[in-house]
Amino acid sequence: MTLEVDVRIPRADIEAAFEVADDDTAAILGPNGAGKSSILGAITGTVAATGQVLLHGQNLLGLPPHRRRVGLLGQRALLFPHLSVLDNVAFGPRSAGHSRRRARAIAGEWLERLEASHWADRRPDQLSGGQQQRVAMARALAAEPDVMLLDEPFAAIDAEAIDGLRTLVRRHVNTTCIIVTHDLPDALTLADRVIVLDEGRIVEEGRTTEVLTRPRSRFAARIAGVNLVTGTLADMTLTCAGTTVTGRPVEDGPGSHGVAVFPPRAVAVYPTRPHGSPRNTWPVEVCTVRSDGPGVFVTANHPDLGEVTAEVTSSAAAELDLQVGTHLWFAVKAQEVDLLPRARQHRAQRRPRPSAI
Amino acid sequence: MTRQPTAPSATPAWIWLPAGFGALLLVVPLVATVVDVPWADLPELLTSDASRQALSLSLRTALGSTALCIALGTPMGWVLARTHLPAQRLIRTVVLLPMVLPPVVSGMALLAAFGRNSLLGGALEGFGIRIGFTTVAVVLAQMFVSLPFMVLGVEGALRTQGVDHERTAATLGAGPGRVLTRVTLPLIAPALRSASVLCFARALGEFGATITFAGSFPGITRTLPLEVYLVRESDMDAAIALSLLLLVVAGVIVAATHAQPRRPV
């Protein structure tokens, strides 16, 4: 269901209008205090807002929070400490009017889907933070929301647990979704579109890859400004038109659409083909040279990969004779390249909505 | 046997002296009471008609007033914690006033409200309802002094708990009633329990407001503390025996609510 948001929150001086297409995921990026969570609060009903939030023609702002069918997964799992894991997940179905038995059956299926069945009888305080978050995700999904809001869902999770959780979100959150995040991989793997918020206003909006490769806003430039190559993922490689990029897989998902991410400073520049060298070496032709502080950014074109940017020191730049049209070789070590599955991929593999269990 | 190593103490030596005196002040009277107990006659003293009557009345009224305190105090605590009332501070002050008021004054206030010649009492009398000097008056007196403990306990628990779990429950489709019964109340259950125990203790020990407002009629308004006070003149042994009973009940209550061991910081 398409979600149309057009809200003003006078107390926080926020004015934002955007749309999330049916079953798409939008990432809201922005510095702390930009108003990201307040906008989510306006949608769930915890923050007073004027304007409208339209979901299949109905203005959610006129409904009490429990009738909005908007699910929320925040930084903290907020499991109910007095209920078992199973009964936490059964809370939504139970509130929807299912019998206790039926609600527990639904909860059991969701726990199974999220590979959390073995914790069903535990108390929340017997689980780690990552495990609790996984249960919280099962609980939110079991309520079958029409819209899912993720408010920095991995911010308080141990690094090693994040990849697994992100994979679960990509597989199981199939509804219209908004994710607030600080994290580049979150936006890349989960979001179709990116909305950049600063001081309560939307300063940039567009397709994820476009915003992150060519950021126009200061904030997007700070977290992004990376090289992105989209293509087909295999085990340790990504293939884009005839050229293969080797990297380290960040998450599972071979055989699907993916993106290779590497920062400009990971790109080494050579006047001739380097020998005995990194896995990724590409002949390129310089299109722009721009100096920014101590670094010089060389953007060059590759017939298959498109534009790739390298950051070199100014002394190195002087030796290289950087002119538009100069032919150079770019090289990137495989361990500097993150291979991520792309958000689009889960659209293709979408499972039927589980409402018919 | 190995000695546990202890970190150097930051406690000044002289602090033991006032702390010790304070402890003696509390402990000596309690020990003296226990020493004075006529153990041989105890069963007889505790099972006399007057004692049994007073004990039964005390338990019934204290349990009744505690139940009413839960029923009324929980919503009051909710209102203070979760709604925006005009003059919130003034309201809280008035609600908590009976905690610090001398019980006799509380009794006078109740008389002024529900006594025979008062506005409310007179009106009720017109309907044939008399409150002053009845068991109902005992319950009212106990509620007047113990209700603030419940309100304070619930309000504090609700504030500490915050609203995050409740908001989460709403996003899962639970309406306000369901959130209250399935999330809020279970979450504040420990605080509710300890506040109830406090209410019960305060009600059981209530003396001043009861004797002022309800009087001292055997079987109707003469609760255990009143009985202790009255028999003291004629039968010191009986008074001591009943005191022991109240002391044991108080000890059980304190042990049940504040028994968790605490490590020094």
pLDDT attached to residue B259: 59
Chain A residues with a Cβ under 8 Å from any Cβ in chain B: 44-46, 64-72, 74, 76, 78, 80-82, 91-92, 95-96, 139-140, 143, 145
Residue A353 lies in a domain: no
CA A216 → CA A97, A187, A211, A222, B171, distances in Å?
A: 48, 16, 7, 10, 35
For chain B, the structural domain boundaries read 42-257
pLDDT of B99-137, one tens digit each?
A: 889 999 999 999 999 888 787 887 888 788 888 889 999
> In this structure, what CATH number is given to the domain that contains residue A238?
2.40.50.100
Same domain membership, residue A235 and residue A214: no
Q: Answer yes or no: is A352 within a domain.
A: no
Same domain, A185 and A243: no
Q: What is the pLDDT of residue A340?
A: 81
Residue A158, amino acid? D
pLDDT at A346: 43
> Please, are residues A5 and A16 in contact by the beta-carbon 8 Å criterion?
yes
- Assess B157–A contact: CB distance below 8 Å, yes or no: no
Q: Which residue of A has its CA nearest to B189?
A: A82
Distances (CA, A) of B194 to A289, B188, B201, B222: 72, 10, 11, 27
Q: What are phi and psi of B39, to 5 degrees?
A: -55, -40
Question: Which structure tokens are listed for A143?
Answer: 């309520």
- CB–CB contact B172 A78 (8 Å): no
The whole-angstrom distance between A207's CA and the closest CA on chain B is: 29
Residues A232, A131 within the same domain = no
Residue A198 and residue A307 share a domain: no
| Shared-domain flag, residues A158 and A250 | no
When CB atoms are compared, the residue of A44, A66, A80 closest to B175 is A66
Tokens of B207: 């003396």
pLDDT of residue B260: 60
- Number of structural domains in chain A: 2
A67 and A204 in a single domain? The answer is yes
With residue A315 as reference, give the H or E element that holds it: helix A314-320
pLDDT for the residue B265: 65
Q: Do B168 and A66 count as a contact with CB atoms less than 8 A apart?
A: no
- The answer, for B170 touching chain A at a CB cutoff of 8 Å, is yes
Distance, CA of A96 to CA of A41 (rounded, Å):
22
Q: What is the pLDDT of residue B264?
A: 67
Which residues, including other chains, have CB under 8 Å from residue B161's CB and lie 6 or more apart?
Answer: B184, B187, B188
Residues of chain B found within 8 Å of residue A46, distances taken between Cβ atoms:
167
Query: In chain A, which residues have their Cβ closer than 8 Å to the Cβ of B171?
Result: 44, 65-66, 68, 70-72, 140, 143, 145
CA distance A1 to A286: 44
- Partner-chain residue, chosen from B164, B179, B186, that has the shortest CB–CB distance to A78: B164
How many contacts (CB atoms, under 8 Å) link A and B? 62
- Domain that residue A254 falls in: 228-341
Q: Which residues of chain B have a pLDDT value below 50?
A: none
Chain A CB contacts of B179 under 8 Å are 66
A36 and A180 share one domain: yes
Chain B hits for A64, CB-CB cut-off 8 Å, are 170, 175-176
**Is residue A170 in a domain?**
yes
Q: Answer whether B168 sits within 8 Å of A72, measured CB to CB.
A: yes
- Chain B nearest-CA distance from A111, in A, is 16
> pTM value?
0.77
**Closest chain A C-alpha to B201 CA, distance in angstroms:** 28
Contacting residues for A27 by C-beta, under 8 A, at least 6 apart: A178, A179, A180, A181, A186, A187, A190, A191, A193, A194, A195, A208
**In a shared domain, residues A182 and A276:** no
Interface with chain B: mutation pick from A63, A66, A88, A150, highest number of B CBs within 10 Å: A66
CATH level 3 topology of B42-257: MetI-like fold (1.10.3720)
- Decide: residue A11, CB within 10 A, 0-12 exposed, 13-18 middle, 19+ buried: exposed
CB contact under 8 A, B164 and A46: no
Report pLDDT for A250: 64
Interface contact A81-B171, CB threshold 8 A: no
One domain for residues A149 and A175: yes
Q: What is the pLDDT of residues B184-200, one digit of tens each?
A: 999 999 999 999 999 99
Give the contacts of B214 (CB within 8 A, at least 6 positions apart): B132, B133, B134, B135, B137, B138, B141, B221
Residue B216 burial (CB count, 10 A): 15
- Is the residue at A347 inside a domain? no
Does residue A350 fall inside a structural domain? Answer: no
**Which residues, at least 6 apart from A181, have a Cβ–Cβ distance to it below 8 Å?**
A27, A28, A29, A150, A152, A154, A187
Looking at the structure, do residues A288 and A332 belong to the same domain, yes or no? yes
How close, in Å, is residue A80 to chain B by CA atoms?
Answer: 7
pLDDT at residue A356, as a whole number? 38
Q: What is the pLDDT of residue B1?
A: 55
Contacts of A259 (CB under 8 A, 6+ apart): A188, A209, A228, A229, A230, A231, A238, A339, A340, A342
Q: List the A237-240 sheet strands across, edge first.
A: A243-246, A237-240, A227-233, A257-262, A338-341, A248-249
Assigned token pair, B152: 């304070």
What is the predicted pLDDT for the residue at A159? Answer: 82
Of A44, A46, A95, nearest to B173 by CB-CB distance is: A95
Question: What's the CATH code of the domain at A150?
Answer: 3.40.50.300
Neighbours of B181 (CB within 10 A): 11
**Please, what is the angle between helix A100-113 and helix A85-95, to 10°?**
120
Q: Assess whether A289 and A189 both reside in one domain.
A: no
CA distance B254 to chain A (A): 25
Distance from C-alpha of A80 to C-alpha of A101, rounded to nearest angstrom: 19
Q: What is the pLDDT of residue A114?
A: 92
Same domain, A320 and A182: no
Residue the block writes with tokens 């933070």? A129
Q: Phi and psi for A117 in degrees, rounded to 5?
A: -60, -35
pLDDT at B56: 92
Q: In a mutagenesis test of the B interface, which of A75, A80, A135, A148 is the best target, namely the one with the most B β-carbons within 10 Å? A: A80
CA distance B27 to chain A (A): 39
User: Is residue A346, in this structure, part of any structural domain at all?
Assistant: no
Q: B182 and A91: CB-CB below 8 Å?
A: yes
Spell out, as residue ranges, where chain A has pLDDT lower than 70: 221-222, 224, 250-255, 277-278, 343-357
